[in-house]
Amino acid sequence: MRRVRIVTDSTADLSPDILKSLNITVVPLHVRFGDEEYRDRVDLSEDDFFAHLQRQPNVLPVTLPPSAAEFEAVYASLARTTDAILSIHLSARLGQTCQNAIVAKERYIVRGVCRVTVINSQSTSLGLGFIVMEAARAALAGQSLDDVARLARSMLPQTHVLFFVDSLEYLQRGGRIGKIQALLDSMINVKPLMRLEDGEIVLMEKVRTRAKALERLYEFVADFPHVERLGIVYSTTPNEASNLARRLGDIVPQERVMLARYGPGLAAHLGPAAMGVVVYEGPER
């Protein structure tokens, strides 16, 4: 019996070790600085990205989704060793990545070589990453495509993301906060806490200081009666992420906590110094 293969995109923020151990294939987003284009975490590392920002502060990055042709090429390659692929991606409300995967699937399915199922995670970063990891574990255990897809979909309503940014400039220019733009236009020296709801960014609360924003991340996690897995996502502030993880150690056992640095594909929209938490509650009790 051929095992299901799992595909995701680079916004899942999973380390190379995890990707290798769980046999996960990543299709990278593209990041463009002016006329220069890079593949997220392939040609452009996190450090390279921020170095580029410092060298050319007036050239803001733009992200591009993987093309349908890129997805089709990945599916074709994997079809040499499997007859079932589950492709799980960044929220469809945050870009065209998921839609391009669907287009590729519809092209590829005509060939009748391999079943491909595409899932809109309604999330990003470790919100997507946790779903992908659990799906990959189920696939390695020999579960069917339908069963693995069912598991992944069951995690969507149990996965929660809260984050704040140090500057709204990147989200505004990237067009990722359209529905809450009017609420943010009048903000000066405010740290907006934003949450993903049904895959869309919504404003949850406005606080005045970074210290208060960090406290709200802590309180957000503490309010859950059960946390199966916790993610702390950061970029240029690793000490803050580690301190938050230590504080949360009284609530969530350390073996359930994962720290991850968000990559260029997200940094283009979040900028430096953003932080967030991802809570997976676990199966419904």
pTM (2 d.p.): 0.93
pLDDT tens for residues 33-78?
Answer: 999 999 999 999 999 999 998 888 888 899 999 999 999 999 999 9
Mean pLDDT of 87-95: 96
**Which tokens belong to 116?**
């491909």
pLDDT tens for residues 231-242?
Answer: 999 999 999 999
**In b/e form, how buried is each residue of 163-172, taking b as 16+ CB within 10 angstroms?**
bbbbebebbe
User: pLDDT grade, residue 174 (50/70/90)?
Assistant: low
Residue carrying structure tokens 């945050």: 94
What is the predicted pLDDT for the residue at 182? 45
Mean pLDDT of 133-138: 98
**In b/e form, how buried is each residue of 248-262, taking b as 16+ CB within 10 angstroms?**
beeebeeeebbebbb
Position 134 pLDDT exceeds 90: yes
Q: How far apart are CA 122 and CA 202, in angstroms?
A: 13
**Domains of the chain listed by start with CATH number:** 5-157 (3.40.50.10170), 158-280 (3.30.1180.10)
Q: Are 85 and 5 in contact (CB under 8 A)?
A: yes
Contact residues for 148 (Cβ-Cβ < 8 A; gap 6+): 4, 6, 86, 135, 138, 139
Q: Of 77-81, 118-122, 188-192, 243-247, which gets the smallest average pLDDT?
A: 188-192
Mean pLDDT of the chain: 91
